[in-house]
Amino acid sequence: MSDQSFTVYVTNNTGAEITNVSVIHYCDAITTGNVWGSISDQATEQLGTVKTYTAHKDYWTIQFAYDGNLYQANCYCSPDSSDTAGYIVLTAKYYSIIYKPVGDSCADKPYAYTTD
């Protein structure tokens, strides 16, 4: 089992400011996360450095408020061993977790729950 660490960024592409933003990454009992009071539209924030292991599934939870509604997402999405960065892109209808340069991309996934 080898490990790798890389930086993850969160971008708001909803068209408006989002609030109460929470993004958490889980892998093999290691948790990395952050909470922001708000992220402006088209802004990118750094989640931080996450650690992952080959042969382990990475689990993500995402939550934020937008336009008076709550959005939540939960999914497994794991990087490739050569990936060096991760990008979480939030839109009003979908979210994407994209690893660069070659990893598993979980693109345009619907939110698991929304009050919209």
- For 41-53, how does the pLDDT look when each residue is reduced to its tens digit (9 = 90+)? 999 999 999 988 8
Specify the CATH number of the domain 3-114.
Answer: 2.60.40.3820
**Mean of pLDDT values over 110-114:** 85
pLDDT given for residue 28 in this prediction: 83
Give the model confidence (pLDDT) of 23-72 as tens digits: 999 998 889 999 999 999 999 999 999 988 877 889 999 999 999 999 99
Please determine, for residue 2, whether its predicted confidence score (pLDDT) is greater than 80.
Answer: no
Work out whether strand 106-110 and strand 113-114 pair parallel, antiparallel, or are unpaired: unpaired
Instruction: Give domain limits for the chain.
Output: 3-114
Measure the CA–CA gap between 109 and 96, rounded to whole angstroms. 6
Closest CA to 36 of 21, 50, 51: 21
**Mean of pLDDT values over 80-100:** 90
| Contact (CB, 8 A) for 20 and 64 | yes
What's the pLDDT band for 73 if we cut at 50, 70, 90?
Answer: very high
What's the pLDDT band for 89 if we cut at 50, 70, 90?
Answer: very high
Closest CA to 12 of 74, 88, 71: 88
What's the pLDDT band for 104 if we cut at 50, 70, 90?
Answer: low
The residue type at 66: Y
Residue 64 structure tokens: 């934020």
pTM: 0.91
